[in-house]
Every structure is written in C-alpha cells, then in structure tokens.
Amino acid sequence: MSDILIGGVPFLALSHRDGRFVRTPGLFAFARREASGVHQVLHLEMTEAIDRDAGPAHHRWAWALGEGMNTLLVHGFGQPAPLPEDAPLDWETVTWHRDAKVTFLGEDRAAETDLLPLVAGGRREI
C-alpha cells in the first residue's frame, strides 16, 4: 500500500518526467517532495490518459517547475485502494500549496478550482 494519500486515495510517486510511461486513465498530481519526505501538491487532475496530459505541454507545467516540482504522483483507475478500517475518508499525508488547483474534467470542460478555501492546516476540509 502507498503511504501517499490524497483524499483517502493512494498515490505512487514517480520522477516528474515519468508520466509518459503511465498509459492509463487516472489521477495525477504535480508535487514537490520536501526534505522531510512530505509531498506538497501543486496541481491535481483527473485525466483519460496520464501519459498524454501530465507532461511539459500541460498549462501548469512551467508554473509547477517554478514552484519546485520534482515529483509526479499518480493513481491509475482500477488500482486497488485498500485503507485501514478506521481511516477517515479525507485522510491525507500531503500538504497543499496555497496556489494549488484541481481539475476534475479537463481543461476543455472548465472544472478547475482554487483550493485555498478548501485547505486548512494542510488538510482539505469537506
């Protein structure tokens, strides 16, 4: 089981340039791994093809690099997500950048949102 959880969903950490090898639909996050080992999420997105969308052509790629992106977090759809029975649904092991964005439907369907109002002390509020 992964020890990187975003909203209770396990993610695998890759080099930020390795998204091209993940040929599956799923979730990806541009992230910065801090010296402490904690990942800070810069951008989270749902996509039909991680290999196509999580790379240099992405509209937030340059911004994320400027913020120190060094990791790509991925969760492929169909991947099991076993969690401890007592884990809350919003359980997270990451922090969120103050300018993080979330895109659930892709750029063409305008579902991007600013996370600042949803984040308190490094945890999303529901």
For residue 103, the model assigns a pLDDT of: 86
Question: Does the predicted TM-score (pTM) go above 0.95?
Answer: no
State the chain's mean pLDDT as an integer.
Answer: 79
For residue 28, the model assigns a pLDDT of: 95
For residues 82 and 112, the model is more confident at 82
- If residue 27 lies in a helix (H) or strand (E), which one and from where to where? strand 26-33
Pick from 2-16, 21-35, 49-63, 99-113: least confident: 99-113
For residue 116, the model assigns a pLDDT of: 40
